[in-house]
Amino acid sequence: MLSDRADFPLRRSLPATEVTSEQHIWNWAQNAPLGPQTRLQRPQDEESLRHIITHRSGRIRPIGTTLSTGDLLAIQHEQDTLIDISGLSGLLRSSENSATFAAGTPLHEVYQTLKTLGRMLPASPGVIAIQTLAGAIATGTHGQGLGQGALADDVLHIRLLCADGTVAEFYRDHPWFGALQLGLCCLGVMTEITLRTVPLTVFTCFKSAVSAGGLQEEIYTWNKAFTFNKAWWFPEDDRVHVWCSREATPRERQRYRAGDAVALSAGDSSLNATVDQTLTHMQNDTRILGEEGRHFDTVTRFKDFTDLTGDIYQLFCRGIAAPQINVKIGIPLARAGQTIALIKQWYAEAHPHMHYPVILRCIGLAQPRLAAAHLLFWLRGLLCR
């Protein structure tokens, strides 16, 4: 399948003739050098960031947790500068319906802070929360649910440090705002981001394992009937693991208050054999040793699954960041069924080797001005060999 090593480099695959890996900054996946250690700056506040920008010799590239692909993060010339923005972190101020964070705040801190304020973002979270707020906004990071969009959709205000060291403040009515929301750092370095917040709500997530036979129709049914839907499709076993979530009933909320995130059903083991087989593939393919296999928890958690009541972060933001070979495709929702049928046909003919299920997530967009102003159907799969 994806055999081109240039497009999908293995971890620490720098040619032996180049400078040694210890002298380089690497991206999180450890498969792309971003630049020499000597070209990295770590400002602790906006003033020192401004100093770096105004005294730079080449171009600058801010980096967050470096989860993105190397080509989005690496500097191109030896006089360019990498700027680690994680020193700019924390809640700066909040109002009844908004909260302003420093751009390098990790998402888990954003979510935890909002929870202590009794608030959450209207957009559902992605599967992990180790990203910086700026990195997640700049790349259109998203969760699931047709009634909400990407995290960037909840941005009300951006404070930007421009290439000449001046500060610019942008609000939603600015004609450039859509470009800034998904800016990929083309327009400047974000230092503050204000987010729209709503009251923290408790949801119940119903989990099931079903045949993949009706997937091309059911993907619409699940997404129309539930606030949040996510599905993992295991083509090898013709099975789909489905999470359908809606606001909790008063009784479910009562039980939740009595015991935090509450399991509502006995463990269902019907997916366990499929999960074991997937784990074997992942172990054989990634050959990642150490960390006591913790990265495989991202799949192991599908075993003995139960319905759950909890807040949106307890239910959906539970992934373990695990290096994988990953292809992510967004298509208009209307073409989801047709696309699933084509993938089924392709899978039957080609029998590709896969070490992770295809993930299906639908998102809508509250604000039509974002770059991808369509309903999107996200299909995420991992193919190798």
Ligand X SMILES: Cc1cc2nc3c(=O)[nH]c(=O)nc-3n(C[C@H](O)[C@H](O)[C@H](O)COP(=O)(O)OP(=O)(O)OC[C@H]3O[C@@H](n4cnc5c(N)ncnc54)[C@H](O)[C@@H]3O)c2cc1C
List of residues contacting ligand X (CB under 6 A): 61-68, 72-73, 85, 103, 126-128, 131-132, 134-136, 138-139, 141-142, 183-185, 189-190, 321
* CB of 91 vs ligand X, minimal distance in Å: 16
* CB of 337 vs ligand X, minimal distance in Å: 23
* CB of 254 vs ligand X, minimal distance in Å: 31
Of 32 and 308, nearer to ligand X (C-beta) is: 32
Of 87 and 337, nearer to ligand X (C-beta) is: 87
* CB of 325 vs ligand X, minimal distance in Å: 11
Token readout for 146 is 């047709």
Of 189 and 360, nearer to ligand X (C-beta) is: 189
Of 103 and 242, nearer to ligand X (C-beta) is: 103
Of 138 and 212, nearer to ligand X (C-beta) is: 138
* CB of 67 vs ligand X, minimal distance in Å: 3
Q: Torsion angle, CA of 351/32/133/320, rounded to 10 degrees? A: 50
* CB of 172 vs ligand X, minimal distance in Å: 18
Of 67 and 219, nearer to ligand X (C-beta) is: 67
Task: Measure the CA–CA gap between 250 and 247, rounded to whole angstroms.
Answer: 9
Q: Which residue is nearest to ligand X (CB)?
A: 135
Of 69 and 306, nearer to ligand X (C-beta) is: 69
Task: Measure the CA–CA gap between 348 and 205, rounded to whole angstroms.
Answer: 32
* CB of 351 vs ligand X, minimal distance in Å: 27
Determine the distance from the C-alpha atom of residue 283 to the mean position of all C-alpha atoms in its chain, rounded to a whole number: 23
CB atoms within 10 A of CB 113: 16
